[in-house]
């Protein structure tokens, strides 16, 4: 079992920045891959960025160049969000999963078996 605790969400004006943090504890086998996903009410959860313990990343085209995912140790991941837009408004979830066969981690939500409670990000125009 992995427990994930997110922090750092909030409200910001367009063009501003926020930094999300995700601290994982428990079964570290299932934290090789960590990622951020977001979801609006009534919509499917979408990938934002994922990162392996080796530092390989996959970033969604919708946030590429504005958001950066990183890890500072095996079990803490961050999402630096710059140049925020109103369409970035969503509930952001941290997720973790085991190592797969590919060099990079999957950006598919169904691959991840542990999820945090979510942190709200609201960007006003």
User: Under a CB-based contact definition with an 8 Å cutoff, are residues 67 and 57 in contact?
Assistant: no
Q: What is the pLDDT of residue 1?
A: 85
Q: What number of other Cβ atoms are within 10 A of residue 82's Cβ?
A: 14
Give the separation between CA 72 and CA 20, rounded to whole angstroms. 13
User: What pLDDT, in 10s, does the model give residues 1-58?
Assistant: 899 999 999 999 999 999 999 999 988 888 999 999 999 888 999 999 999 999 999 9
Tokens of 113: 């078996």
Tokens of 77: 């991941």
């Amino acid at each position: 079992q992995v427990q994930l605790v997110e922090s750092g969400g909030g409200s910001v004006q367009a063009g501003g920045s926020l930094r999300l943090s995700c601290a994982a504890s428990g079964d570290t086998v299932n934290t090789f891959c960590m990622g951020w996903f977001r979801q609006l009410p009534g919509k499917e959860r979408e990938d934002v960025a994922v990162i392996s313990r080796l530092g390989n990343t996959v970033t969604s085209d919708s946030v590429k160049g504005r958001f950066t995912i990183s890890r500072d140790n095996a079990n803490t991941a961050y999402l630096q969000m710059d140049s925020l837009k109103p369409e970035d408004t969503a509930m952001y979830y941290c997720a973790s999963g085991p190592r797969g066969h590919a060099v990079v981690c999957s950006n598919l939500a169904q691959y991840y078996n542990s999820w945090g409670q979510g942190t709200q990000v609201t960007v006003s125009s």
